[in-house]
Amino acid sequence: MNEFTGRSAIVTGGARGIGAAVAAALAKEQFGVVIADLLDGEGTELAASLGPHVAFRHLDVTDENDWRTVIADAEALFGPLGVLINNAGILDFGAVDSESPQMFRHVLDVNLYGAWLGMHLAGPALRAAGNGVIVNISSTAGLMGYSGIGAYVASKWGLRGLTKTAALELGPADVRVCSVHPGPIHTPMTAQMDESIAAAQPLPRFGEPEEVAAMVRFIVTEATFSTGVEFVCDGGATTGQVLALPVEQ
């Protein structure tokens, strides 16, 4: 039995991709897991496949009433809230001078405001129970710039900064807050991307959702003296430009 037995966890965007892998990893750690997503069919099917200590609830992360329901249901079903994983996110392609204002706002609403709203509303429950963890799934786009996805980059840099502020505010209540920064990962969001973009990385491949989930599990269960920091899972993509320099023998 671990210290989180009898505690609940919420994973947003948990119906597929990284969120689904995280939900499965936390279920193995004896959390009662609420998969929260707009994808009702996929989420319900996944929850059923993971066993009786996993449930699905519909969640629009920009909707305050949805959040209140999900948090209340998580605690009613599985005990005091122990973990919040803010994973829900969307991506839009468009240059700074061509993307529509409506889409820019929509990306920030989901990726940044949605995560803030979750922390805002889950904060009291996490403070009350203590020994809690929030993990915000950012991106390498929260560590560097990328052309053509300005809204996404802005949202992920914002989430990185918000993580640090939340860590300062919630630390005295024994609640840790960290961000995870995946590089290219095989998910539905990246399905149309050319995998050659990873060719120059030290590890020249896309990662798998389970590799990100393993990092999240480590943050939640093992990294007990870490808060307000970035955990990077990117195959070395952010190490800098890779140069094919001659090596002296």
Which sequence positions are flagged as catalytic? 152
Residue with tokens 């840790």: 176
Per-residue three-class SS string for 94-145 = ECCCCCCHHHHHHHHHHHHHHHHHHHHHHHHHHHHHCCEEEEEECCHHHCCC
Angle, helices 17-28 vs 209-221, to 10°: value is: 40
* Beta carbons of 150 and 104 less than 8 angstroms apart: yes
Angle, helices 40-50 vs 17-28, to 10°: value is: 20
